Amino acid sequence: MKIGIIICDRYRGCAGGKCFRSVRHREGAFSRYPADESLEVVGFTSCGGCPGGNVEYTPEEMLKNGAEAIHLATGLVVGYPPCPWTAYFKDFIETKYGIPVAVGTHPIPEHYLETHQGLPSLSIIPSHPELLADAETRVEYG
């Protein structure tokens, strides 16, 4: 399975450590892929900044590299504030490029969960429970 990852531009300097670790360990949104299935990241870029100009074009490059799915990084979900464009990005990419889009990469870090408990910033979680993982895993991610 070949995937592309699009991160929030606020984190454009991110080296992808949490995302790549979650790929290796099949944690967070990558838990959907069987452990015995090869998983290769064929693209990693930012959205380009609000309102996400790169989202219109970068999936095409990822497809040229063999991407079979695109993940919108957890930073879009748990950045402060959460990205208001995430659902639009998902719909746009799936419609324009015909490729499945998953919301999230690595599990939500424990410190974020504690800080935002009960706030609207966690309203997306019921739709993406795999991003919660278990408490021990959340602690490992920050």
| CATH code for the domain of 79 | 3.40.50
The phi and psi torsions of 51 (rounded to 5 degrees) equal -100, 30
Percent of the chain with pLDDT over 70: 99
pTM: 0.92
* Residue 136, CA atoms < 13 Å, CB-side half-sphere: 0
* Residue 127, CA atoms < 13 Å, CB-side half-sphere: 10
Total domains in the fold of the chain: 1
Residue 34: domain span: 2-140
Instruction: Convert the pLDDT of each residue in 1-30 to its tens digit.
Output: 999 999 999 998 888 999 999 999 999 999
Q: In this model, does residue 107 exceed pLDDT 90? A: yes
